[in-house]
Structure 1
Amino acid sequence: MRAARIKIHNFRGIKQATLLLPKHGVFIGDNNTGKTTILEALDLVLGPDRLNRRPAIDEHDFFRGVYTLTTGAFQGDSGPEVEVEGDDGIPIPTVDEVEKKEEAPKIEIEVTVADLTEEQNATFGDYIEFWDASADIFYESPDPEGVDGETITEALRVTFHGWYDDEEDDFEGNTYFTRSLIEADKPVGFSRKYKQVCGFLYLRTLRTGSRALSLERGSLLDIILRLQEVRPQMWENTLCTLSDIPVASDPNLGVSSVLESINTALKRYVPKEWGVEPHLRVSHLTREHLRKVITAFIATGEGEHSAPFYRQGTGTINMLVLAMLSQIAESKQNVIFAMEEPETAIPPYAQKRIVHEVCGLASQTLFTSHSPYVLEEFSIEDTVVLSRDAEGFLARKLITLPANVKLKRYRQEFRTRFCEGLLARRIIVAEGATEASAFPVACRILSELRPDLYSSLEALGVCVVDADGESNIPGIAQLYRELGKNVFAICDKQEADNKALIQAQVELLLMHGEKGFENMVLKGASKSALKRFAQQIDWPQYLAKKYPEPEEYAEEALADYFARSKANWGIADFLAQCSESEMPDWLKSACQRINHYCTLDIEGFRLLWGDPVAGDEDGAPTETGSNLEDGADGSD
């Protein structure tokens, strides 16, 4: 059993999405792309306990908070929509314009569950359809014998509808067999009993571990007890025992005497039938209250002291959750696990173990993660890169390696070169290690000195990827551009052919006019900064002999030093001790340009700097932008 496809309309940050889901895969993308929203959508449709909340949805679950025809700017009046298609070839369906104008917004989520078990086929018999796994579509051929094909499997469609009820002034939601919505006069609900047959379990990063070993409804321990059909007959005995426990009855404590005085005063005003004899008890004495307060204790260390399980280390709790997941999978034998960030407080080797263990336990596992150690455990096909545009259309982007990035290299350099870019929204492809280490430092220092003019790359959401050579820039840039990222490049002066290749793949080209980043810095930095740095560093012995007084020949000596310290952040260390006026003009303008490109619209950028991919060697602003106030034109 597995969730093969999900369609989402009008839910949270997603206006429309249609995604194919891998059997075991990981969702990746920048924050606020929609990873958690997809898992929450699956939980609304398949989670057996989600609809027990009242209400199951609220105002913020609707796209842009619009849940009536009068709240906000109703999306139905935005004009005709254009059909959007993801990289996996799935068209994102649009909603008829007339219907949108007449009906209030509704959350609609449809999940296709394929590879059904015999038990599920027997349970859902009237609503079974057939799914073609080779084409990832429903089998609708009139030939009935075609369903016996190797790639054809039984499937079920389930749909959640959520809406605002004007009369009740509240939100409603329910789940239905999709075929009953299409073919029947009256929709048939997909009840909690049916959802339990599907076996979906959503493990949230923070909430799952905090209640795993409690007896709250829906906790992992509660799920295990229900799966093993254990009905703990302990509530009545526990309640009776607690009711007989005296609390502060010892007169020496002073509490009982105060209660007695209150009772005496109470008798003066009311008959005893109204309520007298106040005393203290342990709890409210209800089963629901006990479910919330009863919890497991775990020994802490070698002594006899125990503490509540949720007071253990985060890593210990996560491993405890993994152990309980194995119990659930062994009991049910058919589980879909959706898990957020399994790497939280877990060392790398344990992250890998969690991924392999959970994938081995479940019929399907879907993760979200920011850990390279988790991501590298999944193939390219099972890595779901998500991209969402400003209008809320979300699609899956396929990772397609360019000709100069072989699969072997991608795997070998995944942690050091590719992972961070996959997780970011904006990427600057640097020609080499010097640019990759020095440019972020320059942006950070300048932003600290002049926050009104500059921003750090971290604040702009830009990550730096080392291309390891100018010839690799176009291919690396193409990889990220095709994933829907904003891609920039920083490099030395290029030959016309390679410059054209780079320009075709990037949105912003930062190209200086020197052969070598070190040369640009040495020629552009102030003499005083060079001399000061020459006095500060610990010179290698062979350079100390060559330049007995390096500050006197600072430019020549540092040229040798930088050439031999590419891997030691030599240029980065130099820039870190510069003031704004001491830095090269081109570097300052490059920092301003990337700041403006990320914060202004494209027309505003063109007015200041001209064509963003021209790669102007001097980095000077255009005439139109030269009248900006307070040095915003790139001058000191």
Structure 2
Amino acid sequence: MRVARVDIKNFRGIQNATLLLPKHGVFIGDNNTGKTTVLEALDLTLGPDRLNRFPPIDEHDFFQGKYLPIPATEAVQDLPPNETQTEITPTIKDEIPAPKIEIEVAVVDLNNEQKARFWNYIEFWDSSADNFHAEKNLAGVDEQHIIEALRITFHGWYDIEEDDFQGKTYFTRSLLEEEKPTQFTKKDKQLCGFLYLRSVRTGSRALSLEHGSLLDIILRLKEVRPQMWEDTIRTLSPTNVAEKPDLGLSPVLESINTALKKYVPREWGIEPHLKISNLTREHLRKIITAFIATGTGSHAAPFYRQGTGTINMLVLALLSQIAEGKQNVIFAMEEPETAIPPYAQKRIVHEVRNLAAQAIFTSHSPYVLEEFSLDETVVLSRDHNGSLKQQAINLPDNVKLKRYRQEFRTRFCEGLLARRILIAEGSTESSTFPTAFRRLAELNPAKYSSLEALGICTLDAGSETNIPGMAKLYREVGKRTFAFCDKQDAKNKALIEEQVELLFMHNEKGIENLVINGTTEEALKRFADLLDWPQHLAQKYPVPKQSVVAAIKDYFLWAKGNWGISDFIAQCGEQEIPLWIREAA
């Protein structure tokens, strides 16, 4: 079983979204794009334990926090200028209905048990068109493209009468065809095998016996029902904590008891004493936890007190047990790289892909992302209206797949994870521009900001001719693209401008000339004193400050691509940084 499509309306930061999911894939994009929201939407619809929480949703789960009906007068006021009141008034009665969270999930590749259980609500999915097959009569249809599918819908709303939030899941066909829709129950969801591993919340509960913990899921899958509660309660019940008089606590409790007798009859309550827990099975579920030995000795500590990386690998071991038990599980996993070294990140990805019928990750790690092919990488972007979209990565002609793979960590990954990208023509430019902006922000923060603060990542195109192709790659996946280069001929300038939002092009031939001609002699001489000159330049310029312009220019050319100009900019004052760069900042 796997999720083929998910449609989301009015959920958190997403007003609307329709996403097609690969068998195994990774969501990428800048922070607050909506990656986690998509996984939370899947959990609301397919997760067997999510709706146990009451209420299952709250005010902040609605798009822009809007969950109340909208009065007709406000609705008319909010209309665009070209919509007249006379055109809209007849369709509005007292108010516009309250917004509702709607999530529809299409699942395919059903196994025989699922087909048998859900047969009354089965539909057919056309995998060639990535949509449901419109015709009920399948005669003459290429059956290789038509497969059984199931649609499930989550509705979340505010109940005015109860003054609380409600959430339920239904078979989508029942919403369309039945007067009273049929709910998609917890038992139904358990058969789907959806598991959502949240990076920040799983560790503390993984090896507890709380309902919904990973250990509890494993016990239920293996049909193990530990009959331990009564025995445990009987064992703990006679034990009073700190009852020895020399500890000092029991005399205090006795004095409280004496005072209590003055005011209340015996049957109201006497003899306060301390017990280990509430002595209920629900409380024991929360406080019983696994201990793990640490180091080389025999001392054991609660598992959640281990290192974060150890906890995550422990969680992976538990997940593998769950997957082996279900055989048809869908894993959704947030940021498997958290506190995990690169080799272990890769191992997690491979293990989960092998165990799961479908694995969906979110990640900011190049070591995770490079384990997925182009068609398994889902680039998400969200506009200011809350419309979430996915884009495929299409390599331009000058970026071959081999180059993309070889340079993924160093050149392409950072851009795919950012929203705004500055493409520089070479390594010198890609180091100089961020350094200059950072230095200006340090010197005059009221006027300037660093590129990092502006949310802009800087990438080295490798050459000026590569700028258009790289810009096109990122622009097509929804990124805002900018470029920085020296003077170009009219043809290449036009090619670059076609792909970028803004081109920063100076009129010098080479960034070395831009910096040398735009700074002061004092700044050059100060930098010359700081340098450990390479031998060949030390011989050529025995006293560099006597011909400082020529000496520093030769040094910049020798150190090209090796942070030479960046080091110079980093020690400049504001007025010593070239005017062209200051104006660009």
The answer to whether TM tops 0.5 is yes
Evaluate the alpha carbon distance shift between residue 3 and residue 73 of structure 1 in structure 2; reply closer, same or farther with a 3 A threshold.
farther
SS in structure 2 of the partner of residue 222 of structure 1: helix
Instruction: Note if 1:343 corresponds to 2:337.
Output: yes
Give the alignment partner of residue 126 of structure 1, picking from 106, 120, 124: 120
Q: Distance in 2 between matches of 1:413 and 1:510?
A: 25
Counterpart Cα distance in 1 of 2:105 and 2:250: 61
Once residues 124 and 419 of structure 2 are traced to their aligned partners in structure 1, the CA distance between those partners, rounded to angstroms, is 38
The question of 1:360 aligning with 2:343 is answered no
Which residue in the other structure is 1:57 paired with? 57
- Range with greater deviation from structure 2 (384-393 or 275-284): 275-284
Q: Is the 8 A contact 2:75 2:96 kept in 1?
A: no
Whether contact under 8 Å (2:519, 2:578) holds in the other structure is yes
Equivalent residues of 2:124, 2:148 under 8 A apart:
yes
Q: Which amino acid in structure 2 is aligned with residue 69 of structure 1?
A: P
With normalisation by structure 2, the TM-score equals 0.96
2:33 maps to: 33
Deviation digits for residues 589-608 of structure 1 (CA, Å, limit 9, x no counterpart): 111xxxxxxxxxxxxxxxxx
Amino acid at match of 1:309: F
CA distance in 2, matches of 1:585, 1:539: 27
Determine the structure 1 residue equivalent to 2:200: 206
Deviation of 1:254 after TM superposition, in Å, equals 2.0
CA distance in 2, matches of 1:587, 1:554: 22
Distance in 1, Cα, partners of 2:280 & 2:495:
71
Match of 1:137 in 2: 131
**Matching of residue 272 in structure 1 with residue 272 in structure 2:** no
Alignment partner, residue 221 of structure 2: 227
Is 1:445 the counterpart of 2:439 in the alignment? yes
The reply on whether 1:513 has 2:507 as its aligned counterpart is: yes
Q: Distance in 2 between matches of 1:383 and 1:505?
A: 22
C-alpha contact 1:55 1:172 (8 A) present in aligned 2: yes
What is the alpha-carbon distance in structure 1 between the residues aligned to residue 444 and residue 190 of structure 2? 58
Query: Amino acid of the residue matched to residue 441 of structure 1?
Result: T
Alpha-carbon distance in structure 1 between the residues aligned to 2:142 and 2:517: 74
Q: Distance in 1 between matches of 2:397 and 2:337?
A: 32
Q: Secondary structure at the match of 1:459?
A: coil
SS at structure 1 position matched to 2:374:
coil
Q: Determine whether 1:302 maps to 2:329.
A: no
Deviation string 1:560-616 (CA, Å, 9 cap, x unpaired) is 11101113200000000000011111111111xxxxxxxxxxxxxxxxxxxxxxxxx
Query: Between Structure 1 and Structure 2, how many residues are aligned?
Result: 576
- Secondary structure, in 3 states, of the residue corresponding to 1:149? coil
Q: How many Å apart are 1:453 and its aligned residue? A: 1.1
Q: Find the aligned partners of 1:62 and 1:12 in 2 and give their Cα distance.
A: 5
Which position in structure 1 is the counterpart of 2:321?
327
Which letter maps to 1:43? D
Match of 1:158 in 2: 152
Q: TM-score, normalised by structure 1?
A: 0.88
1:516 and 1:574 mapped to 2: Cα distance? 16
- 1:602 maps to what in 2? none
What pairs with 1:423-442 in structure 2 (closer than 5 Å)?
423-442=417-436
Q: 1:557 corresponds to which residue?
A: 551
**Contact between 2:28 and 2:378, CA under 8 Å: does it hold in 1?**
yes
Conserved in 2, the CA contact under 8 Å of 1:298 and 1:308? yes
Deviations 1:376-423 (A, max 9, x none): 100111100001111011111111111111111111111111000000
CA gap of 1:101–1:134, structure 2 versus 1, over 3 A, is farther
Change (3 A) 1:392 1:73: farther
Contact 1:147–1:153 (Cα < 8 Å) also in 2: no
- Rounded to whole Å, the distance in 2 between the matches of 1:176 and 1:323 is 33
What amino acid is the match of 1:183?
A: E
Residue equivalent to 2:493: 499
Q: Secondary structure at the match of 1:396?
A: strand
Matched, 1:218 2:212: yes
> In structure 2, do the counterparts of structure 1 residues 295 and 77 end up closer, same or farther at CA, with 3 Å as the change threshold?
farther
Tell me which residue corresponds to 2:14: 14
Structure 2: segments with no counterpart, 5+ residues: 81-90
Structure 2 partner of 1:598:
none
The structure 1 residue matched to 2:276, chosen from 260, 277, 282, is: 282
> Residues 49-88 of structure 1 correspond to what in structure 2 (within 5 A)?
49-70=49-70, 79=79
1:48 correspondence with 2:48: yes
Cα distance per residue 1:478-505 (max 9 Å; x no partner): 1111111110000000000000111111
Contact 1:66–1:74 (Cα < 8 Å) also in 2:
no
Question: Structure 1's 140 and 100: CA in aligned 2 closer, same or farther, altered over 3 A?
Answer: farther
Q: How far apart are the structure 1 equivalents of 2:107 and 2:136?
A: 22
CA drift of 1:263 comes to: 2.0
Cα distance in 2 for residues equivalent to 1:237 and 1:71: 59
Q: Does the residue aligned with 2:149 lie in a helix, a strand or coil? A: strand
Q: Aligned with 1:174: secondary structure?
A: strand
CA distance, structure 1, for counterparts of residue 184 and residue 74 of structure 2: 30
Q: Which runs of 5+ in 1 are unaligned?
A: 81-96, 592-636
RMSD of aligned Cα (Å): 1.8
SS across alignment from 1:457: coil
User: What secondary structure, in the 3-state scheme, does the structure 2 residue paired with 1:572 have?
Assistant: helix
- Tell me: CA distance 1:100–1:242, structure 2 relative to 1, closer, same or farther (3 Å): farther
2:413 matched to 1:419?
yes
In 2, Cα distance between the equivalents of 1:573 and 1:467? 21
Identity, % of aligned pairs?
Answer: 70
What amino acid is the match of 1:144?
L
Amino acid at match of 2:15: K
**SS class of match (1:460):** coil
